[in-house]
């Protein structure tokens, strides 16, 4: 089995993807808290997508550098963990994914409007995972499965994270799941109150449902358990 086939196999068995935005965690919990929160839920998370806030500051690092630094710290934390290490990917920045490939970065996730998937795959190369955000069953059906390894689909429920006041609903996720030959993660407004509605889909991506929880590890565990209710 090649290295990328191993990554694909691990992705295929994944259920819970954590969108890790460390600055938001530290703004809420205090400086130095982001990695503590992440460590608390490592045993229950299959994939970590590292995402930083888009805006830079005149005194702080650029978004690309901040993403590099946080992803490197995430990779180092995973290596030190006694649990089965999750896959670690980055949001948007193919250059960061490539720069950290030797450190264990598994790939990159892009949005529908970032760039064509064939261009993204050409830049990323054949050895790393490439994910794409989708929001309609049509997007899913027309996703180029020769270029992509997985899909995000949503928003399933209303979410303040990206300002979506309406959600597509779990039924749309079920339809999208049936129309995809790729692993598909439902995303958007998912938490412990509604995750069981996506058990048929079998995969979810969440952020604040874990990162803002009083007990991030227990929240991650309950989310996984919700997906196994049939």
Given this model, what pLDDT does residue 164 score? 66
CATH of residue 120? 3.20.20.70
Residue 105's pLDDT is what? 98
Give pLDDT, residue 61. Answer: 86
**How many domains is the chain partitioned into structurally?**
1
pLDDT of residue 56: 56
* Per-residue pLDDT tens over the stretch 136-154: 988 998 887 789 999 999 9
pLDDT of residue 82: 64
Give the model's pLDDT for residue 58.
56
Mean pLDDT in order along the chain per 10 residues (230 residues): 93 97 94 96 97 71 94 95 86 97 98 92 97 92 87 92 79 94 96 97 97 97 90
Whole domain around residue 124: which residue ranges?
3-227
Q: Look at residue 83 in the predicted model and tell me its pLDDT.
A: 60
Separation of alpha carbons 36 and 46, rounded Å: 17
């Amino acid at each position: 089995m090649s290295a990328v086939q191993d990554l694909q196999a691990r992705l295929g068995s994944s259920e819970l993807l954590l969108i890790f935005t460390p600055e938001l965690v530290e703004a809420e919990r205090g400086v130095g808290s982001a990695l503590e929160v992440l460590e608390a839920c490592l045993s229950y998370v299959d994939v970590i997508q590292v995402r930083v806030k888009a805006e830079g500051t005149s005194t702080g690092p650029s978004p690309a550098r901040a993403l590099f630094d946080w992803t490197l710290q995430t990779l180092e934390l995973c290596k030190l963990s006694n649990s089965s290490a999750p896959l670690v990917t980055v949001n948007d920045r193919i250059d960061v994914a490539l720069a950290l490939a030797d450190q264990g970065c598994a790939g990159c996730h892009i949005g529908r409007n970032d760039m064509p998937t064939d261009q993204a795959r050409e830049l990323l190369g054949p050895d790393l995972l490439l994910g794409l955000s989708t929001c309609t069953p049509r997007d899913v059906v027309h996703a180029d499965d020769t270029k992509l390894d997985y899909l995000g689909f949503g928003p399933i429920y209303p979410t303040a994270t990206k300002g979506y006041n309406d959600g597509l609903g779990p039924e749309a996720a079920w339809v999208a799941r049936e129309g995809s030959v790729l692993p598909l993660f439902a995303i958007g407004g998912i938490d412990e109150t509604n995750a069981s509605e996506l058990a048929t889909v079998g995969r979810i991506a969440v952020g604040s449902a874990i990162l803002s929880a009083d007990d991030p590890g227990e929240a991650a565990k309950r989310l996984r358990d919700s997906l196994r209710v049939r």
